[in-house]
Amino acid sequence: MAATTAGSVADDTRAHIVDVADELFYTRGIQSVGMDQIRTDAGVSLKKLYAAFPGKDQLIAAVLAGRHDLWERGIEQAVQAATTPRDKLLAMYDFLESWFGDDTFRGCGFINAFGELGATSPAVAAIAKDHKESFQRYVAGLTSQAVPDPALADELAAQLALLAEGAQTTAAIAGDTAPARHARRAAATLIDAATR
């Protein structure tokens, strides 16, 4: 029983370190935050930090994995609350508008990480690419329920995903939720054209 408790403590500590690193990376940028700052803000010893994450690359990967899970849960909750295939597709943009309105919103963490490290870190580039491809597959699954023609559904999925990606970048730069509404209206036009 003691081993389970110790494992839980280690898992809790690891999760805490990831949460702290995520906040620091997201607000300040990955390159400007060192492991010493993460250790200080997490309130853990350097030994404990490096036992959990032998290097910054492993910590970056864990932070991005957490962001991926958070993104998927948020999108999925919004989509599941909708009823029709069309409404499920549009619910993605409602989720974006809510996210863009959060005081902590600083854009897509994957785009930010890729912008900082993609040219020098093949691991970060691969993680960002996998995340974006995962979203593309998810949107394709939704469009296949709305559009019976597979080729047309795939084309629509690419367009809708691009609208979502562009809205994230524009909202981060503008500091405004309006890009989500603009993307939603454009998505509605594309969906309606594809389902006629």
Using a pLDDT cut of 90, give the percent of the chain over it. 94
Q: pLDDT, tens digit, for every residue of 9-60?
A: 488 999 999 999 999 999 999 999 999 999 999 999 999 999 999 999 999 9
CATH number of the domain bearing residue 21? 1.10.10
Mean pLDDT (whole number) for 178-192: 98
Q: How many CB atoms lie within 10 A of CB 92?
A: 26
Task: Confirm if 75 and 95 have CB atoms less than 8 A apart.
Answer: yes
Q: Say how many domains are in the chain.
A: 2
Q: pLDDT, tens digit, for every residue of 120-133?
A: 999 999 999 999 99
Q: Is residue 66 located within the same domain as residue 157?
A: yes
Q: Is residue 29 located within the same domain as residue 63?
A: no
How many whole angstroms separate alpha carbon 4 and alpha carbon 42? 23
Q: Name the domain boundary from 10, 29, 54.
A: 54
Tokens for 157, please give them: 């999925």
pLDDT at 1: 36
CATH number of the domain bearing residue 78? 1.10.357.10
* pLDDT, averaged across the chain: 94
Give CA angle at 195 (193, 196), nearest 5°: 70
